[in-house]
Amino acid sequence: MEQVDLDDGTADRFLLDATGDSLVVFHSKGCGNCKQAREALPQMNLPVARLCWVDAEANRGLVTRYEVFHLPAMYLVRSGVFYGAIDARLASWDIGRQIALALQSYPAELP
């Protein structure tokens, strides 16, 4: 699975141009749960083409636009279309289930 680091300047263009499913993950270096997610997510067999990492401390613009209230926070984007937050435990079965549910909802524009 591809992994990409995004920031306030690169996220919009990358997500609009990327084909397939992107799981956008907001994290922080000082967050223990974030460290666990950063290690575990790439090892999971998730139904996404890529993981897009956003450092919440360094990218306040994205944090504000995506309305991130806790870390780690995950959001699904499919081929430039926003499908919302993925509220799941750090388990592949739960994340996969929440992704499938998100794809059944109405998409929106990127925040």
Residues 2-103, CATH architecture: 3-Layer(aba) Sandwich (3.40)
Spell out the per-residue pLDDT of the chain, length 111, in tens: 999 999 999 999 999 999 999 999 999 999 999 999 999 999 999 999 999 999 999 999 999 999 999 999 999 999 999 999 999 999 999 999 999 999 999 999 999
Lookup: tokens for 41: 């997510």
Q: Region of 37 please: left (phi>0), alpha (psi -120 to 50) or beta.
A: alpha
- 100 forms bridges with which residues in the sheet? none
52: nearest Cα among 92, 97, 20, 89: 20
In the chain, what are the domain boundaries?
2-103
- 75 forms bridges with which residues in the sheet? 24, 85
Q: Half-sphere exposure of residue 105, counting CA atoms within 13 Å on the CB side?
A: 16
Q: What's the pTM?
A: 0.96
